[in-house]
Structure 1
Amino acid sequence: MVVVSEIAPDLFRLSIHVPEFDLQFNHFLVRDAEPLLFHAGLKGMFPALRDAVASLIDPTQLRHIAWSHFEADEIGGLNHWLELAPLAQPVCTLVGKLVSVDDFALRPARGMAAGDVLSTGRYHFRFHRTPHLPHGWDAGLLFEESRRTLFCSDLFHQFGDVADVTSSDLIGPARQAMQQMQSGPLADTMPYTSRSAGLLQGLAALQPQTLAVMHGSSFTGSSEQMLIDLAGVIEEGFEGG
């Protein structure tokens, strides 16, 4: 079942909880003149996600399908969406486009470079390159500048079938999740590099008011300090493994 909730004006969270992992997989639809879907989802989730999107817009009118990095839960269903929406274009980092996506996808991707802006109409998403944050060298994030929404991908990962949005601090749940992963086969899932703290400080300087989180509750409120503190959580988790 897909749980649909509006976490900010025209921003919808489409959440599927998978009990086997006790983990939510969240996808975000921006309803605008040129609708944007952030996270294409796993292939097997496509029928349910398609129906959820259809409850909000005509899914054939999707224009942008974006994600952070090349990974099944972010990109697995991409070609299904491209078949459904003939005008939709994949949107990813330039690195992702060159090394993975243009070979995988039915249509060439728009490769975003630092500072590039994607406009959907009323909303404008500035691209921020974040290599190895949260995962691969192709990672990057989008920040919507008018409503101050940051699409976080796997940052602030939490387990459980949790609330759609919270104003409570996410550091505790994120630390607990990282400790849990470090004790199993997903150890070292999020690397800590010499650039991690600086990248997170740069994201904090954007002063996001909404964090659209892929796994777990999204956040509304002042998030600057949480983004700064997250560097320590990642460092603890990675070095502790």
Structure 2
Amino acid sequence: MADQKLVLDAKGVYYRQLNERIRDAVTGGVREIELNNVNGQRYIFTGLKGELSLKINGVPGQDMAAFMNGPSIRVEGNAQDGVANTMDDGKVVVNGIAGDVLGYGMRGGRLYIRGDVGYRVGIHMKAYKEKSPVIVIGGKAGDFLGEYMAGGSIILLGMFSDKPYAPICGRSLGTGMHGGVIYVRGPVPDTQLGPHLTSEPVDETDKARIREMVTDFALELGLDAQHILAESFFKVKPFSHRPYGNMYVPC
């Protein structure tokens, strides 16, 4: 079985049994797995390490790729909440929409969502040594995007959305943010910004970073990178790395 591709039918398979089969295959040397008929099974590829490749046809459940360190996952469909929870490294590509709390505490790797995402995406993201996590959202985002963000990069494009009349992001963008950066394609409505944040046009260094991340995102999802990059981008960042420092009285 070593080094061969394994195809599993997940229809009607309880999530524990499905994950046991995946782990047994990886232990046996399989490095490429395709799952068909996935329908809400949780914790897929959670905690797995190394150069592994997973393709999911269907809708994976909560906490896919949690604590993952190295593998690549491609989802041909939508995804539920908690994707890439505390992910250390690797890449997750969702060719659809995804739910809430994506990339919670993420400290490395890349998460690409073609469409819209829910609430509190990228909260508590952090850079770790040489690692700097990246989330690229092709559609729009709900409230509290980048809440308490401490490191890494979020790019919000607002392009591939099924909500044409909604603002590009919900309320309280970046609330409590004290590190990292959020890039938004087009101007950011001041009414959506969290406290202690500022929005400004990107500089040449930012443009180079955006170009690299967007080019990879577009390549993974079959999109036109030049079309995405044709619009101006704005950078959201905190005024201070201690946004609530004045709330505390020294003893």
- Asked whether the two chains share a fold, i.e. TM above 0.5, the reply is no
Structure number with greater CO (CA < 8 Å, separation at least 6) is 1
Structure number with larger C-alpha Rg: 2
